[in-house]
Structure 1
Amino acid sequence: MIRGRRQASARVVLALALLLSLVTAPVEPRTERPGGPLWVVPVAQEATLAWLESIAAEEAVGPIPAKQITKRLDRYLAGRPGPVTAMVKDLATGRLYRYHPGERLITASSAKVQILMALLLKTPWKKVPEAVRRDAELMIRYSDNHAADRLWLRIGGAPGFTKAGRRFGLKHTQGVAGDCLDLYCWGITRTSVDDQIRLMSALVSGKSPLKAAERERVLGLMGEVVDGQDWGISAAACRGERAALKNGWLKRVSSKRWAVISVGLIRGDGHDYAVAVLTEGSSDVGYGIATVEGVAKRIMQDFRTCPE
């Protein structure tokens, strides 16, 4: 990895040197004007300048070594039970990495973010009744299932959940129909990491159907998850970065094994990294948490270098 970065840096230096040589190369005046000639860069030279500038910008960011990350994850997950799917996207540059993106795993309590976003699509926070605001806080900060049930009904159940997801661009996430009181049907909703990244992106994008004030409200609650529930993608944050997240953990009735999920944003230094890690098959919650955190760390280390 160090060699790759040095090679990238060398290409940046070469591109910038060529750029400087073009900028300082002599050019001919095209026309005369009061006060002296109008000096211009020839069209071909302008095109070359633009091309070199794009190369320098791209190389300065650096590509994501997808094959290297995949090998690293394969080694780490060898022998660990159950399917794992993950994705990270730098929303500032568009760089991304996907691991087993074809998997469709359950959301568990991470679905509570979409429930809240669906609620705020219908009603701005300032117009939400106090009791409903309290349910929103309990649902996100404390992962309260009964509060989620009440809000699930308030948004119209599975149809309302799915409709909101479509507005946020989700393609693989559809609410489970039925009476979810004490059954947590929202928690067995199947989703993809691409959909979860789209949902997280909608919390910081100016093009989101959710207005800025509502986005900030959701992010504020996700940034204040109580101690003991703030594990997950936060383990991959550098010093000085902030994590806004929602985790999920659900014991599957059929297999008696756990689905453990963490989705959210790692924010800092002008970048928002949307991160989603979904797992199933863990023997207990602690094992699943270790898997989620191990995956998040191993991906994020190639998106930026943490200061020592």
Structure 2
Amino acid sequence: MAALQFPCTIFTTQNRMDDYSAKDMRCGDLTEAQLKTHYHLVDVSTRANPYTLTKITPFNQPQSMFYGSRGEGEKITRQQCAAILFDEFRLLSRLFSVYGPYNHLIEKMIGHMQNGNGKPFRNISLDRALKDHILYDSSRNSTRLLLENVLKNSINWEQQYIPTDKKDALRAAILQGKLPKFDRFQDNFNGMGITVHDTWATHITIKSLQIDNNRYHAVLHYKVQDHFGLDVDDISKFKFNQFRFFRIWFVLQRFNQFSFKPFMTNIEATIEISGERNDDQK
């Protein structure tokens, strides 16, 4: 039996990398009438009206006791309105990134949406968050721990290699677990839940494998991609629509008068695992 050659990609999700046709990657495709009628996005911002391009003051805010006493608000340009909405977008993001080493990321990513023109986004803090997630997940759903166990059982210890027909077993081990996602309780407050939360695509590769007598040492590489964008299913859910943060985000992305591009968030982590031959194989 032939030996598995490294690096070897042992797992890929059905969702593909760099899928710009995904629903949450659309932008500038909805009209004012659609936003208001289908998604109930009438009250978007407390600072500027994206439809009339006017500043909002206590005198032209419907909830205010002063509403209507001074007529319409000050007219502004589309660019000025977008800048005001992005500032409010950043301010509201602090509700979801209260503490921790990643709470600065959401403002960086909002700035990237504002100025990056859809270019992919990388940040060392995202890579560190992924690596920590993988290393500190000690649950039975941990892909790292599942791979540790299956790797030692896949090795031909006498000839010191992994046969190619064991590749399916390695993939099956990952399918038994849970891919690293930032949907834990702490991610609601540490900045990762709002920046990444779920993920779109994941590739897991064994970069190298060293077998010495009754021990092995492997280097694994996780490549994860998410989309910083909203689809219509997101904004149709009450848990998103109730927050002004998401209403502003959706309008900036999907309103045909703004059309700010969503982008790919690329995250990578390299970890090492090791194990020893089972006692019953000695």
TM-score, normalization by structure 2 = 0.26
Structure number with the higher helix fraction is 1
Q: Which has the higher contact order (CA 8 A, sep 6+)?
A: 2
TM-score where L is the length of structure 1: 0.24
